[in-house]
């Protein structure tokens, strides 16, 4: 249980990609970390694209990046909503400044684009937002998982196994 004692934020909003939220959450938990689902409202039930629910443990305003070892951003359509919250962008920027692992998959790159942390960073994402990533200054690769320092990125659900491992490795290496 190499991640025992570590806490991780998993951001959530409606229309998250069900597997892209839950697979990394369970993967990190199985390594011993505590994961908190964090949304706009505490105790709110968010519904994924395929109907899987997720109840937030905390609201964005209730968490402090200093209390967490990393953050997971799911894909789906939720990232387009998440990037509109100033507190989400603040959390991502603080994690970036502290070099804490930031996991993003598929459309989750939109949150990192809006947080303005991708200049010169090598990443991957769904090809659908490649232009957005490159226009934000990222170097985009069509690979299952790309790790550049503390930023771990993946393309889509078939990449979840290596993505989960890479994110856990980043947390363990802190």
Structure token digits, residue 169 = 């490795």
3-state helix, strand, coil in the chain (%, to 5): 40, 25, 35
16: how many CB neighbours lie within 10 A of its CB? Answer: 32
Distance, CA of 101 to CA of 163 (rounded, Å): 12
Among 106, 102, 52, 51, CA closest to 75: 106
Structure token digits, residue 18 = 């069900």
Structure token digits, residue 16 = 């998250």
CB 35 within 8 A of CB 10: yes
Structure token digits, residue 27 = 């993967």
Quick check: is 36 catalytic? no
117: how many CB neighbours lie within 10 A of its CB? Answer: 20
* Catalytic hit among 36, 44, 96, 107: 107
Structure token digits, residue 170 = 């980043």
**Active site members:** 107
């Amino acid at each position: 249980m190499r991640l025992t004692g570590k806490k991780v934020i998993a951001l959530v909003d409606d229309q998250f990609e069900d597997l892209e939220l839950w697979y990394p959450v369970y993967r990190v938990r199985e390594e011993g970390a505590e994961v908190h689902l964090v949304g706009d409202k505490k105790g709110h039930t968010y519904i994924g694209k395929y109907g899987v629910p997720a109840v937030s443990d905390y609201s964005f305003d209730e968490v402090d990046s200093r209390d967490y070892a990393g953050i997971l951003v799911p894909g789906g359509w939720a990232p387009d909503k998440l990037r509109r919250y100033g507190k989400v962008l603040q959390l991502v920027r603080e994690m970036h400044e502290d070099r804490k692992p930031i996991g993003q998959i598929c459309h989750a790159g939109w949150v990192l684009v809006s947080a303005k942390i991708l200049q010169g960073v090598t990443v991957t994402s769904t090809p659908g937002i490649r232009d957005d990533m490159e226009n934000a200054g990222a170097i985009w690769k069509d690979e299952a998982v790309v790790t550049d320092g503390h930023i771990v990125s993946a393309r889509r659900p078939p990449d979840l196994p290596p993505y989960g491992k890479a994110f856990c490795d980043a947390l363990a290496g802190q």
